Amino acid sequence: MLQLNLRVFVYIGSSFNLNKQMDSALKKRLSILGAAIIALFLINNFFFTITRIEAGYVGIKVNLFGSGNERGVQDITEVAGWVFYSPLSSRIYEFPTFVQHKVWTADIQEDSPTNEEFNVTTKDGLSVSFDVGLDYRVIPSKVAEIFRTYRRDLPRITNEFIRTSVRNSYNTIASTYSAEELVSKRSQYESEVRKDLVASLRAAGFEISQVAIVGKVRLPKQIEDAINSKIQAVQDAIRTENEKQRVIAEASKDIEHARGAAEAMRIRSDAEAKANLVVAQTLNPLLVQKMYIDKWDGKLPVYGTVPQMMMPIK
């Protein structure tokens, strides 16, 4: 009986060791399989990947293989939706076709950590600065041509080529204006710049919807003081002229009042004269005597000469 129990124990122990060896082999196989799957996934993402071009964007697939400066320029394909490609041989660029807004400003808190204001030189040799805002969009049919020309994504194209075009236009046209005219004729200046930019950037594949100076035109202090003094002098002259016209108006009103009062007095005098004439023409001795009687209270004087109350009638 004891021998049987020992045999059973030995058998159970052998089975346990066998199972343990099988579990170890299975784990090893699973580990190898997992590593292979991970490696396959990494290799697949390294050699092949997938991306999606969203609505409102035009995608281009650029072949990275080639020779010399023409690498990636000749082999450009427009793509949309899901795109499957190899990062080793191709690159995907996305260009938004909706309106983009860009501001070049001296304020480092707004659009860039550096001062991006524009400086232009006027025809009187003065330096003037200002901020500029631009609204534009990429013409969808021109995306491939834009990339062939600049070989950049849109943010870099905006901050390099488009900024240079806008700055040059503002500077070129500013050379036909004095510093003071940039302020007094600002709308005309900006209209000329916009007309020039619309034409030049459309030819490059961009559609301008709005471009304008943002805020004030920053002039040299002495010019700004001179302009402010001139504006103040004009305002003072206008105020003086307005006061003069007010005084003239009030004097004219007084004259009209006096003329009206004099005319009224003349009319009254004429009326009284005419009335007196009528009365004089109608008076006769009997009428005068009757007026005496009408005014008499019936009492005679108590001293002096008694007046003759009745006048002889002739």
According to the model, what pLDDT value does residue 260 have? 80
According to the model, what pLDDT value does residue 239 have? 76
Q: Alpha-carbon distance 289 to 301, whole Å?
A: 18
| CB of 190 closer than 8 Å to CB of 213 | yes
Decide which of 1.10.8.60, 3.30.479.30, 3.90.1150.10, 3.30.56.10 is the CATH code for 99-219.
Answer: 3.30.479.30
Centre a 10 Å sphere on the Cβ of residue 146 and count the other Cβ atoms it contains.
22
According to the model, what pLDDT value does residue 18 have? 47
Between residues 109 and 136, which one has the greater pLDDT? 136
Residue 84 has pLDDT above 90, yes or no: no
Give the pLDDT mean for 204-229: 85
Encoding tokens for residue 181?
């005219």
- CA-nearest of 92, 94, 98, 103 to 158 is 103
| pLDDT tens-place string over residues 31-60 | 776 666 665 555 555 567 888 888 889 988
The sign of the dihedral angle between the CA atoms of 75, 80, 84, 85 is: positive
> Which contacts qualify for 236-243: CB closer than 8 Å, 24 or more apart?
none
Q: Alpha-carbon distance 84 to 4, whole Å?
A: 69
- Calculate the CA 25 to chain-centre distance: 73
Between residues 259 and 147, which one has the greater pLDDT? 147
According to the model, what pLDDT value does residue 114 have? 87
| pLDDT tens-place string over residues 98-111 | 999 999 999 887 77
pLDDT over 70 percentage in the chain: 68
Between residues 311 and 83, which one has the greater pLDDT? 83
Strand partners, 104: 132
CA angle in degrees (0–180, nearest 5) for 256-261-262: 95
According to the model, what pLDDT value does residue 195 have? 95
Q: How many residues does the chain have?
A: 314
Alpha helices in the chain (DSSP H): 2-47, 143-150, 154-157, 163-174, 179-184, 186-203, 221-282, 285-295
Residue 212 has pLDDT above 70, yes or no: yes
| CB of 210 closer than 8 Å to CB of 195 | no
According to the model, what pLDDT value does residue 50 have? 84
Residue 6 has pLDDT above 70, yes or no: no
| pLDDT tens-place string over residues 149-199 | 998 899 999 999 999 999 999 999 999 999 889 988 999 999 999 999 999
| CB of 139 closer than 8 Å to CB of 100 | no
Across 84-88, 279-283, 304-308, least confident range: 304-308
According to the model, what pLDDT value does residue 231 have? 61
Give the pLDDT mean for 201-214: 95
pLDDT bracket for residue 11 (50, 70, 90): very low
Mean pLDDT estimate for the chain:
78
Strand partners, 212: 133
Amino acid present at 32: I
CA angle in degrees (0–180, nearest 5) for 163-205-86: 95
Residue 12 has pLDDT above 50, yes or no: no
| pLDDT tens-place string over residues 234-252 | 776 777 778 778 888 887 8
pLDDT bracket for residue 30 (50, 70, 90): low
Q: Alpha-carbon distance 193 to 174, whole Å?
A: 9
pLDDT bracket for residue 21 (50, 70, 90): low
Q: Residue 20 burial by CB count (10 A; 0-12/13-18/19+): exposed, middle or buried?
A: exposed
Give the pLDDT mean for 212-234: 77
Centre a 10 Å sphere on the Cβ of residue 134 and count the other Cβ atoms it contains.
23
Provide DSSP, 16-85: HHHHHHHHHHHHHHHHHHHHHHHHHHHHHHHH-EEEEE-TTEEEEEEE---SGGGTTTS-EEEE-EEEEE
Residue 69 has pLDDT above 60, yes or no: no
According to the model, what pLDDT value does residue 75 have? 72
Q: Where are the domains of the chain?
A: 1-47, 49-95, 99-219, 228-314
Please tell me whether the overall predicted TM-score, pTM, comes out greater than 0.85 for this model: no
